[in-house]
Amino acid sequence: MSITDRWVEARPWLGTLARLGLAAVWMIAGGTKIGDLAASGRAVAAYKLMPVEVARVVGAALPFVELALGVLLLVGLATRLAAAISAALFIVYIVGIAAAWARGLNIDCGCFSRGGELAPGQHANYLPEILRDVGFLAVAGFLVSWPRTRLALDEWLFRGETA
């Protein structure tokens, strides 16, 4: 069996791991924020990239978007679309964190927490957050390129089609 044949055989299972891993990321991220939408709005506002009222609406909607992406990826439905939206969100998150870092803001990114401005004496460490999101972006990119995975509704719905 050639390396190409092994790759073709392994790719759907690697995609399954990527899909389920990304689903977990979104479910955890959305789940930590869904109980306090006002805090999520304050976290987005802390980036100071948009008017406060707009940031509050975006912040309140974000957990629902994250949970919806998590569910779609978990069941493997519209995997390419969910992965593409995920990739776009990770790019927005990377740019937002980098902008906060460049402007000297001292905030918690709010990715897996309530976020917002840090208490005096606490200092943000943006590089690990950016690197983490670059890794998630790579996983989403894999799924955009190869969305057909095992144990997915897409696999059952689109049997016989190639992607």
Return the DSSP state at 116: E
120 or 54: which leads in pLDDT: 54
pTM score, whole prediction? 0.93
Structure tokens, 30: 């959305």
Residue at 163 is within a domain: no
Average pLDDT (16-39) is 97
**% of the chain exceeding 90 in pLDDT:** 85
Q: What is the pLDDT of residue 157?
A: 83
Phi, psi of 123 (to 5 degrees): -130, 135
Provide CB contacts within 8 A for 125, sequence distance 6+.
none
Residue whose tokens read 């990119």: 141
**% of the chain exceeding 70 in pLDDT:** 98
Residue 162 clears pLDDT 70, i.e. is over it: no
Average pLDDT (22-45) is 96
Residue at 128 is within a domain: yes
What tens digit of pLDDT does each residue of 74-91 get? 999 999 999 999 999 999
Residue at 71 is within a domain: yes
Residue 158 clears pLDDT 80, i.e. is over it: no
pLDDT band at 121 (very low <50, low <70, confident <90, very high): confident
Q: How many domains are there within the chain?
A: 1
Q: How are the residues of the chain apportioned to helix, strand and coil, as percentages rounded to the nearest 5?
A: 70, 0, 30
| Burial label, 102 (beta-carbon count in 10 A; 0-12, 13-18, 19+) | exposed
Residue 156 clears pLDDT 90, i.e. is over it: no
Q: 3-38 burial, b if ≥16 CB within 10 A, otherwise e? A: eeeeeeeebbeebbebbbebbebbbebbebbeeebe
pLDDT band at 161 (very low <50, low <70, confident <90, very high): low
- Domain, as residue range, for 51: 3-157
Residue whose tokens read 């144990």: 151
